[in-house]
Structure 1
Amino acid sequence: MIEIKRGMTLDAESDGSVREDGSMYSYESMQSLTQYLLDRTKHRPSVGVICGSGMGGLADMLEDNESFAYNEIPGFPTSTVAGHKGRLVFGILNGVPTVCMQGRFHVYEGYSLWKCAMPVRVMKLIGVKTLIVTNAAGGLNSDFRAGDIMIIKDHINFPGFAGDNPLRGRNDERWGPRFPAINNAYDLKLRKIAREIAEDLGFGEHITEGVYAMVGGPCYETVSELRALKILGADAVGMSTAHEVIAAKHCGLRVFGLSLITNECVMEYDVERSANHAEVLETSNRRKADLEKLITNLVARIQE
């Protein structure tokens, strides 16, 4: 097993040489990184949560928590986006051992997709069985309003159309098969349970279900791009999530995903209104209490 030290990169062969394609990392180095964390926390989580823009407050709800700044974890990237604190937080959420990524990594920050998805594999080795992914997204569906919560039933991975995929490169069967199936990536049973929880909590009218489209960013989409996405069947669009879900399904995790619709996409030409990140954070802050209740209750149901 390779010993991971602070500042060491993870795109190296077992003999220390760098892989030519730079797109993968060894199973052994992931084991060492995982052991580094397990040696420093008493928690053994079964649920992992990736907190999207403005949703990091969920990690602060973990009881008896132990947190690690990304820049202190050997081999981890660092988050550079407002609304992403950049911590891995272990603790207890509604009685369930849980680990939260308080902030994620994006391709537009300069990271490869495999590196953006790397923490999912760390969660797998830690012992996580179910991954919950959250994001802030623009609404393409004309029935959606800012503040709605969209349960993700499927995604369109546009970076994948261009050949950029977190599984690109040599496959290690210890993670999963060379050609994993990604249909039914978002667990049907968990989607139904989430709807039941929202109804019980009194905000079922704000729950929708749809298809999430991932684009590269960091610029928001043009009117023509948004219209094309809508024609292709997308209900919401954002700059994350699909690669994390692909990595999770590849290594056998159950997945639940939701998008907070933070703005209605500008679908008409020659209008003054435009998308902006401040609007994303403001909407996230307005609906964070409902999101936290939904996920907290869902985690307990997962354990059952």
Structure 2
Amino acid sequence: MHKTEHILEAKDYIMTKTNITPEVGFVLGSGLGILADEIENAVIIPYVDIPHFAKSSAIGHANELVIGDLMGKKVVAMKGRFHYYEGFSLDEVTFPIRVMKALGVKNLIITNACGAVNTDFKPGDLMLIRDHINLTGANPLIGHNNDDLGTRFPDMTQAYTPELRDLAKKVAEQLDMNLQEGVYAWWTGPTYETPAEIRMIRTLGADAVGMSTVPEVIVARHSQMNVLGISCLTNMASGILDQPLSHDEVIEVASKVKTNFIALLKGILNEIA
């Protein structure tokens, strides 16, 4: 469990670089860091400089915290995240979420690039996350609970805040954008799933599968933050099409949907009270 003093050390360091108190936080997944480039009056802080932050080695992750103004709101964005498959502990993976909370973030928007399990979806679609399935058997809250950070047994009935999901759907409709909605399954990676595993995941009720997001959402909800999750579906999951999977494809498709992605997130940010 995260130590309060470590969270405060990271927060205090960040506050030596900026006087902005962010209210909205972003976690930007593989190939999706482009939104951070839209932030105005930006202060960019490398993760390596922030006390107790890890450093991601994942391709398509810039390892920078960006703080500034976007659509009239004070925001902080993680340009790249940490993954369980990189060998980080779940404490390390989710530590930045604790720091965002300490900085003042009330609403957290988490994004990822992932594979489509639902055969009605297609690469390039954006999917609003309605719920998730944790297939890993791991949970970032296992161990001693820091009662200063949240309750021992947090309720996950509405892990993804209904009001934010409704707002996202309204913005997508205004933009005449086809926004899918579904359940996200968390797989540890770094291997892609086998075709048999994808059939299992579909049977369990998931519409997409990826290697991130769920631990961050759990910690955000433990921290009493509102959460919105959006997936960029970069490929059809294993066995759906007769072709191998590659991370290059993930990055390529994510870059192609950047216009829709940025428009949707900016529209949502504009509507958040």
TM, length-normalised to structure 1: 0.88
Root mean square deviation, CA, Å: 1.1
The aligned residue for residue 63 of structure 2 is 86
Distance 1:59 1:157 in 2: 28
Superposed, 1:101-180 pairs within 5 Å as 101-159=78-136, 162=137, 164-180=138-154
Moved over 4 A (4+): none
- Which of 281, 288, 301 is residue 258 of structure 2 equivalent to? 288
How far residue 89 of structure 1 moved from its aligned partner, in angstroms, is 0.3
Tell me, which stretches of 5 or more residues in structure 2 are unaligned?
none
Are 2:168 and 1:188 equivalent residues in the alignment? no
CA contact (8 A) 1:113 1:243 kept: yes
- Could you tell me which amino acid in structure 1 is paired with residue 47 of structure 2? Y
The 8 Å contact of residues 148 and 208 in structure 1, kept in 2 or not, is answered as yes
Per the TM alignment, residue 267 of structure 1 is displaced from its structure 2 partner at its CA by 2.6
Q: Could you tell me which amino acid in structure 2 is paired with residue 121 of structure 1? A: R
**8 Å Cα contact 1:136/1:280 also seen in 2:** yes
2:191 alignment counterpart? 219
Higher relative contact order (CA 8 A, sep 6+): 2
Is 2:9 aligned against 1:32?
yes
1:274 alignment partner in structure 2 = 244
Q: Of the candidates 26, 38, 50, which is equivalent to residue 61 of structure 1?
A: 38
Give identity over the alignment, percent. 44
C-alpha contact 2:9 2:51 (8 A) present in aligned 1 = no
Q: Alignment partner for residue 202 of structure 2, among 230, 235, 260? A: 230
Distance 1:231 1:25 in 2: 35
Partner Cα distance (1:77, 1:219) in 2: 22
C-alpha distance in 2 between matches for 1:246 and 1:51: 17
1:244 aligns with 2:216: yes
Residues in 2 aligned to 1:252 and 1:293: alpha-carbon distance in whole angstroms: 27
Shift of 1:202: 2.3
CA distance in 2, matches of 1:42, 1:297: 25
Question: Contact (CA 8 Å) 1:130, 1:253: kept in 2 or not?
Answer: yes
TM-score, structure 2 length as denominator? 0.98
Farther off after superposition, 103-112 or 36-45: 36-45
* Aligned residue pair count: 273
